[in-house]
């Protein structure tokens, strides 16, 4: 049985169903930095390998720590396959969008913000932001008319 076919307990219909815009949906790379490899040019892939760069859910700055386990990714939102919450568009739609009648969900990547914007130099930031954006555009269900929208990562320190 696929994730979409599973029965989920439903409460009474939400009176705001279809009118809700959730502007704080955190999406994550399904397999950490390995997810970005196909979206990075060879020199940037080699640079990350040389640096031994990793990107776990706990790599977010302490100011983003929350009481549910130390980071912004909710443990109860994990996929049935054991991947972190926010790593599967199908599970996001099944577990969050449909049950709450959300019309639009604006997806943001705290990983992109932490790694590509805050912790990288200008050129590396451009490469990483491009890779994050290309990954989410490619892997997430962002088709016209769908509920999912992606707030792209922007390299803020680049001067071009």
Q: What's the CA gap between 92 and 136, in Å, rounded? A: 13
CA distance 42 to 116: 17
* Alpha-carbon gap, residue 132 to 39, rounded angstroms: 8
Evaluated on CA atoms 62, 26, 68, 29, the torsion sign reads negative
Q: What mean pLDDT, rounded, does the chain reach?
A: 80
Crossing angle (nearest 10°) for helices 42-51 and 122-139: 110
Tens of each residue's pLDDT in the chain, 160 residues? 455 555 555 556 666 666 899 999 999 998 888 899 999 999 998 888 887 766 555 445 555 555 555 566 777 788 999 888 899 999 999 999 999 889 999 999 988 888 877 778 889 889 999 999 999 999 998 888 789 999 999 988 766 5
């Amino acid at each position: 049985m696929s994730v979409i076919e599973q029965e989920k307990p439903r409460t009474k219909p939400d009176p705001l169903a279809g009118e809700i815009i959730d502007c704080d949906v955190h999406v994550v790379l399904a397999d950490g930095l390995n997810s970005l490899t196909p979206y990075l040019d060879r020199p940037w892939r080699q640079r990350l390998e040389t640096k031994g760069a990793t990107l776990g859910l706990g790599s977010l700055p302490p100011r983003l720590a929350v009481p549910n386990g130390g980071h912004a990714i909710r443990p109860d939102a994990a996929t049935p396959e054991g991947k972190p919450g926010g790593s599967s568009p199908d599970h996001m739609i099944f577990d969050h969008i449909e049950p709450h009648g959300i019309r639009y969900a604006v997806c943001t990547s705290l990983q992109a913000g932490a790694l590509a914007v805050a912790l990288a130099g200008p050129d590396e930031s451009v490469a990483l932001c491009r890779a994050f954006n290309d990954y989410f555009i490619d892997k997430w269900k962002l088709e016209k008319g769908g509920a999912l929208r992606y707030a792209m990562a922007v390299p803020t320190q680049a001067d071009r």
